[in-house]
Amino acid sequence: MIARAPVGGGTLQPVAGSWSEAVERVASYLRAAGVNARLEQFDEGTPTAEAAARAVGCALEQIVKSLVFDCDGRAVVVLVPGNRRADSRKVAQALGCSRARVATAEQVERVTGFPPGAVAPFPLPGVECVLLERRLLEHEVVWVGAGSAHHMAALGPSDLVRLTRAKTMDAVAEAA
């Protein structure tokens, strides 16, 4: 770990060096919302849920995967625990679209402003709505991507719902 900075009551500042524009965008969003959160930077990187859980030192189900779907031409983000997969049929049904498919890397970056593997659940300029798997609400703290493959932010799930204006639902595929 390189940097650790609280978010909320105090001022969120980079601890070691400058943050990229994307990470600063996430930090600014958290600052403006007054959320009690923590943003951290990890040397080893956090591009996958498994890598993030190892770096953070938490259970895989506390990692939030921010998955971008194309739902009949509408950009949607689905937030699911790190140990689960989103069910595209459930996503399509919840949004009343004929088909939901995982967005391409180009689509992900265009609608979120973040590259794949670094998608934060906020701010999302080109995303129409956010769906959140209800199992994430069972945790005291969850970890979300924070704009790069080396940054994560910890916050309460209720804050995540509020910041994303997410609709909670059963969004995951049943375990095989």
Confidence of residue 17 (pLDDT cuts 50, 70, 90): low
Average pLDDT over residues 44-55: 93
The pLDDT of residue 14 is above 60: no
- The number of folded domains in the chain is 1
Report yes or no on 23 lying in a domain: yes
DSSP 8-state secondary structure symbol assigned to residue 113: S
Report yes or no on 175 lying in a domain: no
Beta bridge partners of 75: 70
Confidence of residue 19 (pLDDT cuts 50, 70, 90): confident
Of 15-29, 127-141, 159-173, the least confident:
15-29
Query: Range of 97's domain?
Result: 3-169
Percent of the chain's residues with pLDDT above 90: 85
Q: Tell me, what CATH number does 35's domain have?
A: 3.90.960.10
Contacts of 130 (CB under 8 A, 6+ apart): 76, 77, 78, 79, 121, 124, 164, 165, 166, 167
Report yes or no on 176 lying in a domain: no
Report yes or no on 105 lying in a domain: yes
The pLDDT of residue 7 is above 80: no
The length of the chain, given as a count of residues: 176
Tokens read off for 4: 């650790």
User: How far is it, in rounded angstroms, from Cα 12 to Cα 103?
Assistant: 32
pTM of the model: 0.90
